[in-house]
Amino acid sequence: MTTKLKYVADSEVTLSELMLPSHANFNNKIHGGYLLSLLDQIAFACASKHSGEYCVTASVDTVDFLNPIEIGELLTLKASVNYVGNSSMVIGIRVESENIRTGKVKHCNSSYITMVAVNETGKPVKIPGLYLTSENEIRRFVKSLKRIEMKHHRREEFHELDFTAKDHIDKLKKYRVEIFLT
């Protein structure tokens, strides 16, 4: 366990991989589940580098598949620590794919994964803080804070004990649902 501060650059990770037919789905595009597995791997590497501990995945925030990834493209994932709490970290990951022949690069995905550093007995441990050394690093930290706030707010707003369905039924009229309360 260590509690000193570290630079974002010290735990940045990049992973490049050629997309093979074995990674594709029935439509010849790369399977979303395969990409999720790569996201989790790089998040683990980045979080473990920052914390100096083994890390576990706590949550995966907004994984939007922006562009399909084709067989034969070179996929690059770039990860860095966006935010640190006591034992948790948000790892931001940008995924781009490159057509080898044309050199055209597509932005395929940006994801934010929360990882927690744990000790030998699986208990969360305190991790180093962050030196923020650029506008971008400050922006990403504040953006993570906002995401965390929104998540807490959503959890409170939709807590089972405080939620009353009739306050929301009108909003559902434009959706393809019929409501039968039993």
Give yes or no for a contact between 155 and 96, defined as CB atoms under 8 angstroms apart.
no
Q: Which helix (H) or strand (E) holds 37?
A: helix 32-51
CB of 78 to ligand GDP, least distance (A): 4
Shortest CB 67 distance to ligand GDP, Å: 13
DSSP annotation of 64: -
Least separation, in Å, of the C-beta of 114 and ligand GDP? 13
Work out the number of other CB atoms within 10 angstroms of the CB of residue 16: 11
DSSP string for residues in 12-23: -EEEEEE--GGG
Smaller CB separation from ligand GDP, 29 or 78: 78
Site for ligand GDP, rule CB under 6 A: 12, 14, 78-80, 82, 92-94, 110, 140
Smallest distance, ligand GDP to C-beta of residue 157, A: 25
CB atoms within 10 A of CB 113: 26
C-alpha 79/C-alpha 112 separation (Å) is: 9
- Return the number of the residue (63 or 71) whose C-beta is nearest ligand GDP: 63
Q: Tokens for 11, please give them.
A: 């735990």
Q: Which is nearer to ligand GDP, 7 or 71 (CB)?
A: 7
Q: How far is the CB of 38 from ligand GDP (least distance, A)?
A: 13
Nearer to ligand GDP, 142 or 172 (CB): 142
For ligand GDP, the closer of residues 82 and 87 by Cβ is: 82
SS3 for 84?
strand
Q: Which residue, judged by CB position, is nearest to ligand GDP in the bound state?
A: 92
